[in-house]
Amino acid sequence: MAIEFTRLLNIGLRSATLGVRFLFVFFLAKYLDAASVGYYGIFTATTGYALYFVGLDFYTYTTREILKTPTKQRGRLLKGQAALSGFLYITLLPATIFFLSHSDWPDHLVWWFTPILLLEHLNQEISRLLIALSEQLTASFILFIRQGSWAVVITALMRWNHDSRNLDTVMAIWACAGIAAVALGIWRLKQLKIGGWHQPIDWVWIKRGIVVSSGFLVATLALRGIQTIDRYWLKYLGGIEMVGAYVLLLGVASTLLVFLDAGIFAYAYPTLIKHHHNGQHREARTQVKHMFFQTTCFLAVFGFISWILLPYLLRWIGNPLYLQALPLYPWLLAAISINAIGMVPHYALYARGMDKPIIYSHIGALVAFILSTWLLSPKYPAMAIPIGLNIAFSVILILKTIVYFISIRSKIPAKFDPQAA
């Protein structure tokens, strides 16, 4: 009973975050001009992409390692991961700031980039660690603080204070929430009494982790590259205001991934790893089937409700630009839905330690996105990006699904040695 209550509370927190973020993008569109919404979308996408350069997707290695390591020694692993990230910040951040300062970004956004990046990175890694350690509830609290709470505050502020309707105020409130979330995360980690912090950094372990995670990094950069290039490419094709409309509609569609991650994936993939580690392959296959069924059911409900409500919400914003862009939504919803279904074979393969198919499918998707968008752009500039997304995510879904079924039918053993991944 207690476990079910905790899970319901976790889903409630994630749902509250989902609801707030769902509405926030509409308030942002109502109180800011379309160009500001466009730059906000480009800023968030660029920050999200930069996270992988300063983190190297090292968590994909740490997550599997930390579950096999006694609590008294886990601090040594986390200390090594922190040292690696510190080195990456020192080497990569100056070049990034130089690049952004010579782009067409407004100067004030460039200065917000570093603090937001650092806070998002810390919160992301803390949340991933807590989820791996079965602290999903605390991770959900942190998520609500860093994504939900500040959205409520800035919405209320912009509603009553016209002077706050600018991106600088948005970034300031975002940063404050990030600081609060980091504080909560560190407090909870201290309570878990993780030991090994005073042990020397295992540089051999770090090097091995870089080799393993580098594959995932390539895959992630390819996948996230699609979701970053799209905004810059659309800005070139249709202007920054079109990016604003695109960000709004894509933001609506993407909220379904947040809910799926909270209610399904965050619980399923640690269980899948344990099943394979214990040789419980039948139970693992059953878990994958449940993931697929739950995912498809939610997608159907979300798609129906969002399509009914969206026109009314766009009219409430009062900017005709967003209503004119409404035909993009079915394409974006389809792309995100395909992406969500593709997460089922993704986690199934990840739990089995089959990393290479994941990497190759993401690289293939990036190539498919660039080629299809490039071919469609001359005749269909408004639809090239959404169609390209559908093609890219379809490539991922098809390839991962084929490899997963081949692996279970041929009884390919799951891998647990990170060096073999």
- Taking only the tens place, the pLDDT of each residue in 162-189 is 999 999 999 999 999 999 999 999 999 8
Tally of domains within the chain: 1
Question: Residue 212: which pLDDT band, with cuts at 50, 70 and 90?
Answer: confident
Residue the block writes with tokens 């991922």: 396
For residue 341, count CB atoms less than 10 angstroms from its CB and return exposed for 0-12, middle for 13-18, buried for 19 or more. buried
Average pLDDT estimate for 317-345? 93
Q: Name which residue leads in pLDDT, 211 or 157.
A: 157
| Residue-number span of the structural domain to which 195 is assigned | 2-420
Burial class from Cβ neighbours inside 10 Å (0-12, 13-18, 19+) for residue 191 reads exposed
Please tell me the predicted confidence (pLDDT) of residue 270.
74
Above pLDDT 70, what percent of the chain?
A: 94
pLDDT for the residue 259: 76
118 or 382: whose pLDDT is higher? 118
178 to 185, 189, 299: CA distances (angstroms): 11, 17, 30
Q: What is the pLDDT of residue 415?
A: 54
Segment 73-92 shows an average pLDDT of: 90
**Residue scoring higher pLDDT (352 or 309):** 309
- 77: pLDDT strictly greater than 50: yes
3-class secondary structure for the chain? CHHHHHHHHHHHHHHHHHHHHHHHHHHHHHHCCHHHHHHHHHHHHHHHHHHHHHHCCCHHHHHHHHCCCCHHHHHHHHHHHHHHHHHHHHHHHHHHHHHHHCCCCCHHHHHHHHHHHHHHHHHHHHHHHHHHCCCHHHHHHHHHHHHHHHHHHHHHHHHHCHHHCCHHHHHHHHHHHHHHHHHHHHHHHHHCCCCCCCCCCCHHHHHHHHHHHHHHHHHHHHHHHHHHHHHHHHHHHHCHHHHHHHHHHHHHHHHHHHHHHHHHHHHHHHHHHHHHHCCCHHHHHHHHHHHHHHHHHHHHHHHHHHHHHHHHHHHHHCCHHHHHCCCHHHHHHHHHHHHHHHHHHHHHHHHCCCHHHHHHHHHHHHHHHHHHHHHHCCCCCCCHHHHHHHHHHHHHHHHHHHHHHHHHHCCCCCCCCHHHC
Residue 259: φ, ψ to 5°? -65, -45
pTM for the model stands at 0.82
- Average pLDDT value for residue range 91-97: 91
For 100-113, what is the mean pLDDT?
88
Q: What does R_g of the chain's alpha carbons equal in angstroms?
A: 21
- Give the model confidence (pLDDT) of 242-290 as tens digits: 999 999 999 889 888 877 876 788 777 777 877 776 667 787 788 888 8
pLDDT over 90 percentage in the chain: 48
Say if CB 392 and CB 226 are below 8 A apart.
yes
- In which band, very low, low, confident or very high, does the pLDDT at 416 lie, cut at 50, 70 and 90? very low
Cα atoms in the Cβ-side hemisphere of radius 13 Å centred on 106: 15
Predicted confidence band at 4 (pLDDT cuts at 50, 70, 90)?
A: low
Cα–Cα distance, 80 to 66 (Å, whole number): 12
**The predicted structure's pLDDT at residue 419:** 37
b or e along 278-315 (b: 16 or more beta carbons within 10 Å of the residue's beta carbon)?
eeeeeebeebbeebbebbeebbeebbeebeeebeebbe
- Whether the per-residue pLDDT at 122 is higher than 80: the answer is yes
Determine the pLDDT at residue 388: 96
CA separation for the pair 335, 227 (Å, rounded): 11
pLDDT at 420 over 50: no
Instruction: Give the pLDDT of residue 255.
Output: 82
For the segment 213-246, what is each residue's pLDDT rounded down to a tens digit? 787 788 888 988 998 999 999 998 988 999 999 9
Judge whether residue 74 has pLDDT over 70: yes
